[in-house]
Structure 1
Amino acid sequence: MDNVKLLNRTDTKFIFNSATLHTFLESCSNKYKILTINNKTISSYRTLYFDTTSFDFYNHHHNGKGNRFKVRIRKYVDSKLCFLEIKNKIKGRTIKTRKTINDFENQLSYDSLKFITSVIHDLKPLEKKIWNSFDRITLTNEELKERLTIDLNLSFEIDGEKRTLNDVVICELKQERVNRSSPAFTLLKSLHIRPSRISKYCIGAGTLFHQLKKNRFKIKHLQLSKLTTQLN
Structure 2
Amino acid sequence: MRPPSLDRFAPIGLEELVAESALLTRVDRKYVVPLAEASMLLERLNDGMRVLELGGLRDFAYESIYFDTPDLLSFRMAAQPRRRRFKLRTRTYLDTQASFLEVKTRGARSATVKDRIPYELSVRDRLTGDARDYAADALAAIGVEPRRASGLGATMTTRYRRATLVTADGSARATVDTGLRWDDASGATLSLPALAIIETKSGARASEVDRVLWRAGHRPATVSKYATGLAALHPDLPRNRWSRLLRGPFSDAAASTPPASTAHPTSLHQPAPHPEESSCVAV
TM-score (norm: length of structure 1): 0.89
Letter matched to residue 114 of structure 1: D
Letter matched to residue 210 of structure 2: F
Instruction: Tell me which residue corresponds to 1:221.
Output: 246
- Verify the 8 A CA contact 1:12 1:172 in the aligned structure 2: yes
- Which one has the largest radius of gyration? 2
- In structure 1, the gaps of 5 or more residues are none
Q: Does residue 163 of structure 2 align to residue 149 of structure 1?
A: no
- Verify the 8 A CA contact 2:232 2:250 in the aligned structure 1: no
Letter matched to residue 82 of structure 1: S
**Residues 14-25 of structure 1 mapped to structure 2, 5 A cutoff:** 14-25=31-42
Instruction: Tell me which residue corresponds to 2:272.
Output: none
Q: Does residue 223 of structure 2 align to residue 198 of structure 1?
A: yes
- Verify the 8 A CA contact 1:157 1:208 in the aligned structure 2: no
CA shift in 2, pair 1:114/1:145, >3 Å: farther
CA distance in 2, matches of 1:120, 1:53: 15
Moved more, 222-231 or 98-107: 222-231
CA distance in 1, matches of 2:236, 2:251: 23
The structure richer in helix per residue is: 2
Task: State the Cα RMSD in Å.
Answer: 2.3
CA shift in 2, pair 1:190/1:8, >3 Å: closer
Instruction: Tell me which residue corresponds to 2:137.
Output: 118
TM-score (norm: length of structure 2): 0.74
Q: Deviations over 1:86-131 (max 9, x none)?
A: 1224556543111111114333111112222232213413111011
CA distance in 2, matches of 1:5, 1:73: 23
Identity of aligned residues (%): 24
- In structure 2, the gaps of 5 or more residues are 1-16, 258-283
Instruction: Tell me which residue corresponds to 1:109.
Output: 128
- Verify the 8 A CA contact 1:152 1:170 in the aligned structure 2: yes
- Verify the 8 A CA contact 2:181 2:192 in the aligned structure 1: yes
CA shift in 2, pair 1:68/1:196, >3 Å: same
Q: Which runs of 4+ in 1 moved over 6 A?
A: none
> 3-state DSSP class of the match of 1:119?
helix
> 3-state DSSP class of the match of 1:38?
coil
More contact order relative to length (CA 8 Å, sep ≥ 6): 1
**Residues 38-117 of structure 1 mapped to structure 2, 5 A cutoff:** 38-89=55-106, 94-103=112-121, 104-117=123-136
Q: Deviations over 1:12-63 (max 9, x none)?
A: 1111100112212222242421111111111000110011111111111111
Instruction: Tell me which residue corresponds to 2:198.
Output: 171
